[in-house]
Amino acid sequence: MAPPVAALQQYRTRPGPRHDCVARCRRVKLNRRKRCAFMASAMSVKRMQSEAEAFAAPLRAGTVDRGRPHRVVAALMLREMVTTYGRSPGGWLWALLEPIAAIALLAFAFSLVFRDPPLGSDFALFYATGFLPYMVFHDISGKVASALRFSKPLFSFGRVRVIDAVTARIALNALTHAVIGTVVLTALLVLSDTNAALAPGLILEAYTLALALAVGAGVLNCYLFTAFPAWERLWNIALRPLFIVSGVVFLLEDVPDAYQPYLLANPLFHVTGMMRAGVYPTYEPLYPSTVYVFAIAAALLVLGMLLLDAFADEVLHK
């Protein structure tokens, strides 16, 4: 039995995303090609809105318990994994290729000038021991500093706090750099001819110190970048010479004694020295100070947390 004409007309004119797009296209009298492009863009916007609504629904409805912040942090980590690494082709692969390319460029450039590296016989391994901890500080501090900007739309739900956004970025990027460092060092040790005896304790301590400095500087900059936008540009300018004075491309023993105290004032120099001591068993530097690095990291972290706690509403609504 055929359906009534009125039911068919009601079905055809039933409102929906596609019906709205078609009606809008007809009103502006677009041709067929432009109409298809307009409909595709409108449907993609609606799909993105529905995905955002699906992510935010548990937070808004209270399904995620405020007393269980680990669930909020896990949700924020999944969101960042999708937005940072999932949208671009080979997102995780690029995160691994970036340090490999930088280390290869450093090894190639300095091998043209010097016959042997300051330690060992492999240029790539020597510069990897300096570049990897520096990259941990540079990358994680930048990610933590922009945590408020990245998660600002979610703070209106009431279930997401500043500490949740910062913790999610720290956890995800710390795990990412741990995997990258393990893969790069393992590959270099397998491919090189050096018989290095690793000290995992020193390597782990160096990574922990670099992470502590990154968290302290990132939390402080989380407030400063928002309160004083000009500081972000000044910080990016200061990071360029920091690459050189952090001992990435040279050893402290190669610097004249008169300039060594200035270099040791940089806590990252202690980190790179400890990292190289963990890879090269014959290198035993006396200057790395765990207490000094942790003291600076703790001071930066406490100052940043106090500023964020005192001016949280002002920062979030600026």
Shared domain for 277 and 160, answered yes or no, is yes
Same domain, 173 and 52: no
Query: 114's torsion region: left (phi>0), alpha (psi -120 to 50) or beta?
Result: beta
Whether residues 110 and 148 fall in one domain? yes
Instruction: Return the beta strands (E) in the chain as ranges.
Output: none
Give the separation between CA 245 and CA 262, rounded to whole angstroms. Answer: 9
- Asked whether the beta carbons of 38 and 25 are under 8 A apart, the reply is yes
Return left, alpha or beta for 280; rule: phi > 0 is left, psi -120 to 50 is alpha, else beta.
Answer: beta
Residues 181 and 255 in one domain: yes
pTM: 0.75
Q: Angle formed by the axes of helices 267-279 and 123-145, to 10°?
A: 140
Q: How high is the pLDDT of residue 295?
A: 96
Q: In the listed set 10, 38, 63, which residue is the last one of a domain according to the structure?
A: 63
Same domain, residue pair 154 and 184: yes
Structure tokens, 245? 């004075």
| pLDDT tens digits, 215-250 | 999 999 998 988 888 898 999 998 989 998 999 999
141 and 186 fall within a common domain: yes
Most confident option among 43-57, 146-160, 165-179: 165-179
- Lowest-confidence range among 188-197, 247-256, 288-297? 188-197
Question: Tokens 């920091």 map to which residue?
Answer: 242
94 and 163 in a common domain:
yes
**Three-state SS at 192:** coil
Cβ atoms 202, 274 nearer than 8 A: yes
What is the number of structural domains in the chain? 2
Quote the percentage of the chain above a pLDDT of 70.
73
What is the 8-class DSSP label of residue 119? S
Q: Of 63, 96, 112, which one is at a domain's C-terminal end? A: 63
Residues 220 and 127 in one domain: yes
Mind listing the pLDDT tens digit for each residue in 93-117? 888 888 889 999 988 988 888 888 8
Which range marks the domain in which residue 57 is found? Answer: 1-63
Q: Which amino acid is at 289?
A: S
Nearest to 155 by CA among 89, 249, 60, 278: 60
Q: What is the CA radius of gyration of the chain?
A: 26
Same domain, 45 and 87: no
If you write DSSP's letter for every residue of 202-248 in order, what string do you get?
HHHHHHHHHHHHHHHHHHHHHHHHHH-HHHHHHHHHHHHHHHHTTTS
Domain boundary among 63, 87, 104: 63
